[in-house]
Amino acid sequence: MPQIRRARRATVTTAAVLTGCALTLTACSGGGSSGSAGDRLRVSMAFPPAQAMSPYGDDAVALSRLSVIEGLTKLDASGVPKPALATSWKSSDGDRTWTFQLRKARFQDGRKLTADAVVRSIEEATEASPQPRVLSDAGKLTVKAEGPRTVAVTSSEPDALLPQRLANPSLAVLSPKAYGKGEGKDTKVTVAGHATGPFTLTKVNGTVSATLERNDDYWGGRAKASGVDVKFSANGTTRANALRSGSTDIAEYVPVSQASVLKKEQVREVPTARTNSLYMNTEHGPFRDARLRAAARAAIDSPALIKSVYEGYADKPQGLLGPGVKWAAGKRVPVRDRAKPASEAQVKKAPTITLATYTNRPELPEVVTALQQQFEKAGFKVKQVVRDYARMEADALAGKYDIFVQARNTLLDTGDPVSYLESDFTCKGSFNMSQLCDKDVDEAVGKAAATEDTAARQRAEMKAEAEILRTDAVVPLLHERFIQGVADGVEGVSLDPMERTLVTADTHRE
């Protein structure tokens, strides 16, 4: 696990977010004003805060999608790092040290962005408990200021992806005022009023709603909307109804079942980096036999899943990386040397297989039901296991299911799929649902991870993809398309395949 020089660890509590500035506009707004109701945005978001708007968990993604927080870098649609709070960077010492030059900017509390503030933010993130997932496969980090606007980040291991890591929402740069005076795990972190984005978080009403005001001192220029009023609703039908009734401007993640009841011009389809795949247990049970894995792959009818479950709002499988990863199609290589599928007689002799998925994504249980029918048609005997994800993850990682169906964002942490390939398919991978351990796969993924040049690394990643698919440890089923609901007259909504942006400084109602 990554470590850092200082001993303190940072965490966040609900009280930390709501204390002081979060309940009032004047203490946090950084010069913004509430504005008139006509130029404010109304947003219905799918995932209520789970960690009191902590910058170190999944809530950081929501803060990023609302343009509250920023990091040293950001990612373009292809996952390439671009300037954000850093204007430029360069590597040295064999990619162990990366030096960043900072732009002139101010935090929402009025303090200037400095190298010391960046050092503090990265150190606090590294010491957080639990630690941000993006750092789980990074080396030990050392961060230091080399001038008022120069920061050097050094890893114990060469890390060609460090600029991409620093674009992760969990590594946002916050003002020194964001960090309380507690010691150890009691250190409190308050995002409200202490970030750098075009909108300032000023109020959080538990898991119900949040209020944002425009940050008039934003380095990139004033946002077009004067503020954002957010309502959280885990119910997709509720979000779609809010758009239909005119009570929201943006409805996040509209379920496919609701898309047909919206006006055509309100439906914005987004090809994504999320691939729904079937993971077969290669270490225990019947799918230790590569021939049975190949037979299971041959039994799958992906077009039928797309038509019946996703009502056409998905793309046919194109390897592990779908159309949301724009560069992948042009660099993909053929998959060779797959095992020959077992005969129908051999399939019928196999033990009953457990086919598992989770309820948190409403389409997946339907996918599993359809898959069961397809497998049984091919001669397999199938038992379903469907529960809440929190109750299944540990068992899935321990290899207690023969097949686990899940949706994975292949660019989730670094914007580059090599992190996903490492965590999901290598012998030491921390998220290896297939229990796969193949020396050729490890070698191919290792070569990709060690390649600094972006184009060369992408070619290496496609070779690694082919090696992984050769094993049939994972079978891509489809690539999801997200449906974002956007009201008439709303412009500038970011349709981001990596799910990190939604409302930006350019988003507004005409």
pLDDT surpassing 80 at residue 10:
no
- From 1-15, 44-58, 312-326, the region with the lowest mean pLDDT: 1-15
* Local structure of residue 176 (DSSP, 8 states): G
SS3 194: coil
What pLDDT score does 452 carry?
A: 80
- Distance, in Å, from the CA atom of 169 to the CA atom of 209, rounded to the nearest integer, reads 20
| E strand segments, 299-358 | 314-315, 353-358
Q: Please give the residue that has the higher pLDDT: either 206 or 2.
A: 206
83, 64, 45: which is closest to 500 by C-alpha? Answer: 64
284, 12, 273, 264: which is closest to 131 by C-alpha? Answer: 12
Q: Is 357 buried (19+), middle (13-18) or exposed (0-12) by CB count in 10 A?
A: buried
Compute the average pLDDT of residues 322-326: 86
Tell me the percentage of the chain whose pLDDT exceeds 90: 71
- Average pLDDT score, the chain: 89
- Distance, in Å, from the CA atom of 60 to the CA atom of 170, rounded to the nearest integer, reads 6
Q: CA-based Rg of the chain, rounded to a whole angstrom?
A: 23
- Distance, in Å, from the CA atom of 489 to the CA atom of 240, rounded to the nearest integer, reads 17
What pLDDT score does 32 carry?
A: 45
Compute the average pLDDT of residues 60-84: 93
What pLDDT score does 187 carry?
A: 63
What pLDDT score does 50 carry?
A: 81
- Distance, in Å, from the CA atom of 284 to the CA atom of 432, rounded to the nearest integer, reads 13
| Burial letters 197-217, b for 16+ CB under 10 A, else e | bbbbbbbbeeeeebbbbbbbb
What pLDDT score does 474 carry?
A: 98
* Local structure of residue 368 (DSSP, 8 states): H
Compute the average pLDDT of residues 432-457: 93
What pLDDT score does 256 carry?
A: 87
Q: Please give the residue that has the higher pLDDT: either 137 or 155.
A: 155
Compute how many other C-beta atoms are within 10 angstroms of the C-beta atom of residue 339: 16
pLDDT surpassing 70 at residue 484:
yes
Band of pLDDT at residue 38, cut at 50, 70 and 90: low
What CATH homologous superfamily does 271-480 map to?
Answer: Dipeptide-binding Protein; Domain 3 (3.10.105.10)
What pLDDT score does 133 carry?
A: 79
Using CA atoms, how far residue 9 sits from 56, 132, 184, 289, 419, in Å, is 12, 12, 5, 46, 25
pLDDT surpassing 70 at residue 467:
yes
What pLDDT score does 482 carry?
A: 87
pLDDT surpassing 70 at residue 464:
yes
Q: Please give the residue that has the higher pLDDT: either 33 or 224.
A: 224
Query: Per mean pLDDT, which of 43-57, 180-194, 285-299 is the most reliable?
Result: 285-299
What pLDDT score does 27 carry?
A: 37
- Distance, in Å, from the CA atom of 326 to the CA atom of 270, rounded to the nearest integer, reads 12
pTM over 0.85: no
What pLDDT score does 186 carry?
A: 53
- From 6-20, 79-93, 188-202, the region with the lowest mean pLDDT: 6-20
H/E element, 270: strand 267-280
* Local structure of residue 298 (DSSP, 8 states): H
**Span 364-381, pLDDT tens digits:** 999 999 999 999 999 999
**Span 223-254, pLDDT tens digits:** 999 999 999 998 889 999 999 999 999 999 99
**Chain mean position to CA 223:** 25
What pLDDT score does 33 carry?
A: 43
- Distance, in Å, from the CA atom of 33 to the CA atom of 291, rounded to the nearest integer, reads 65
What pLDDT score does 163 carry?
A: 94
Tell me the percentage of the chain whose pLDDT exceeds 70: 91
**Span 158-198, pLDDT tens digits:** 888 899 999 999 999 999 999 986 554 556 899 999 999 99
What pLDDT score does 131 carry?
A: 79
What pLDDT score does 34 carry?
A: 44
**Chain mean position to CA 90:** 26
Residues 6+ apart with CB under 8 A from 98: 89, 90, 91, 92, 152, 153, 154, 159, 162, 163
Position 141: which residue type? L
Domain residue extents for the chain:
14-253+488-509, 271-480
Same fold, 14-253+488-509 and 271-480: no
What pLDDT score does 8 carry?
A: 35
- Distance, in Å, from the CA atom of 103 to the CA atom of 114, rounded to the nearest integer, reads 9
265, 271, 292: which is closest to 280 by C-alpha? Answer: 292
User: Taken in order 99, 105, 106, 111, is the CA torsion positive or negative?
Assistant: positive
- Distance, in Å, from the CA atom of 124 to the CA atom of 118, rounded to the nearest integer, reads 10
SS3 474: strand
Q: Are the C-beta atoms of residues 361 and 309 closer than 8 Å to each other?
A: no
What pLDDT score does 179 carry?
A: 93
Q: What does the chain come to in residues?
A: 510
- Distance, in Å, from the CA atom of 444 to the CA atom of 78, rounded to the nearest integer, reads 21
**Span 102-118, pLDDT tens digits:** 999 999 999 999 999 99
The fold adopted by the segment(s) 14-253+488-509 is D-Maltodextrin-Binding Protein; domain 2 (3.40.190)
H/E element, 292: helix 290-299
User: Taken in order 466, 467, 471, 475, is the CA torsion positive or negative?
Assistant: negative
What pLDDT score does 22 carry?
A: 38
Band of pLDDT at residue 37, cut at 50, 70 and 90: low
Phi/psi at 190 (5° precision): -120, 110
Q: Are the C-beta atoms of residues 249 and 509 closer than 8 Å to each other?
A: yes
Residues 6+ apart with CB under 8 A from 310: 256, 363, 478, 480
SS3 41: strand
Q: Please give the residue that has the higher pLDDT: either 347 or 11.
A: 347
Compute how many other C-beta atoms are within 10 angstroms of the C-beta atom of residue 384: 13
pLDDT surpassing 60 at residue 459:
yes
Band of pLDDT at residue 57, cut at 50, 70 and 90: confident
